[in-house]
Structure 1
Amino acid sequence: RAMLTALLRGARERGAAVSALYPTVAAPYRACGWEAAGVLRTVDLATAALPRHRPASHLTVRAGTPADLPAVAGLYERVTRHRNGMLTRRGELYDFFAADRGLPGDGLTLVERDGDLVGYATWQRGRGYGADSVLTVDEALAVTAEAARELVGVLGSWASVAPTLRLCPLDGDAVSPHLPLESARDHERDLWMHRPVDVARAVSARGWPAHARGAVDFGLTDPLADWNSGTWRLAVADGAAELTRVDGEAELRLDVRGFALLYAGAAPARSVAQAGLLHHSPGVDPAALDLLASGGPAQLLDYF
Structure 2
Amino acid sequence: MGTDLARNRATELRVVRREELDSWYDHLIRAFGGVPEPAEERQLWYSVTETDRSIGAWDGDELVGTAGAFGFRMTVPGGAPVPAAGVTMVSVAATHRRRGVLTSMMRRQLDDVRAWGWPLAVLTASEPVIYGRFGYGVATCHVNAEIDTSRVRLSVPPGTDDVRLRYAAPADVLDVCEALYARRVPLRPGMLVRQPGWERMGLLDPQSERNGASPLQCVLAERDDEVVGYARFRVRPEWEAAGPKGTVVLEDLEAVDPAAHAAVWRFLFDLDLTSTIDARRRPVDEPWQYMVSDIRRCRLLVRDSLHVRLVDVGAALEARTYQTPVAVVFEVEDSFCPWNAGRWRLTGDTKGASCQRTEDAADLALSVRELGTAYLGGVSLVSLAAAGRVRELRPGALAEASVAFGSPVAPWLPHGF
1:79 aligns with 2:184: yes
- 1:7 corresponds to which residue? 109
TM superposition score normalised by structure 2: 0.62
**Deviation of the 1:16 alpha carbon:** 2.7
Q: 1:143 aligns with which of 237, 256, 266?
A: 256
Q: 1:223 aligns with which of 335, 342, 361?
A: 335
- SS of residue in 1 equivalent to 2:402: helix
Deviations 1:211-270 (A, max 9, x none): x22311122111111222221111113421121111254242221122122213243333
CA distance in structure 1 between the partners assigned to 2:221 and 2:367 by the alignment: 47
**Bigger radius of gyration:** 2
Distance 1:106 1:50, change over 3 A: farther
Distance 1:128 1:81, change over 3 A: same
- 2:267 corresponds to which residue? 154
Equivalent residue letter for 1:260 = G
Aligned pairs for 1:1-304 (under 5 A) are 1-48=103-150, 49-51=152-154, 58-65=162-169, 66-88=171-193, 90-94=194-198, 97=201, 106-130=216-240, 133-158=246-271, 160-168=272-280, 169-180=282-293, 181-186=295-300, 189-209=303-323, 212-281=324-393, 285-290=397-402, 293-296=405-408, 297-304=410-417
CA distance in structure 2 between the partners assigned to 1:161 and 1:13 by the alignment: 55
CA distance in structure 1 between the partners assigned to 2:114 and 2:123 by the alignment: 16
- SS of residue in 2 equivalent to 1:125: strand
Structure with higher RCO (Cα < 8 A, 6+ apart): 1
CA distance in structure 2 between the partners assigned to 1:219 and 1:151 by the alignment: 47
Distance 1:265 1:133, change over 3 A: same
CA distance in structure 2 between the partners assigned to 1:3 and 1:111 by the alignment: 45
Aligned CA-pair RMSD: 3.2
Q: Which runs of 5+ in 1 are unaligned?
A: none
- SS of residue in 1 equivalent to 2:114: helix
Equivalent residue letter for 1:35 = G
Aligned residues: 298
**Is the 1:268–1:287 contact (alpha carbons within 8 Å) kept by the matching residues of 2?**
no
Distance 1:223 1:56, change over 3 A: closer
**Is the 1:141–1:175 contact (alpha carbons within 8 Å) kept by the matching residues of 2?**
no
**Deviation of the 1:96 alpha carbon:** 5.5
**Is the 1:84–1:298 contact (alpha carbons within 8 Å) kept by the matching residues of 2?**
yes
Between 225-234 and 71-80, the greater mean CA deviation after superposition: 71-80
Deviations 1:46-69 (A, max 9, x none): 233343889966432111233322
CA distance in structure 2 between the partners assigned to 1:106 and 1:83 by the alignment: 26
Equivalent residue letter for 1:86 = M
TM superposition score normalised by structure 1: 0.83
**Is the 1:111–1:150 contact (alpha carbons within 8 Å) kept by the matching residues of 2?**
yes
Distance 1:303 1:188, change over 3 A: farther
Equivalent residue letter for 2:316 = A
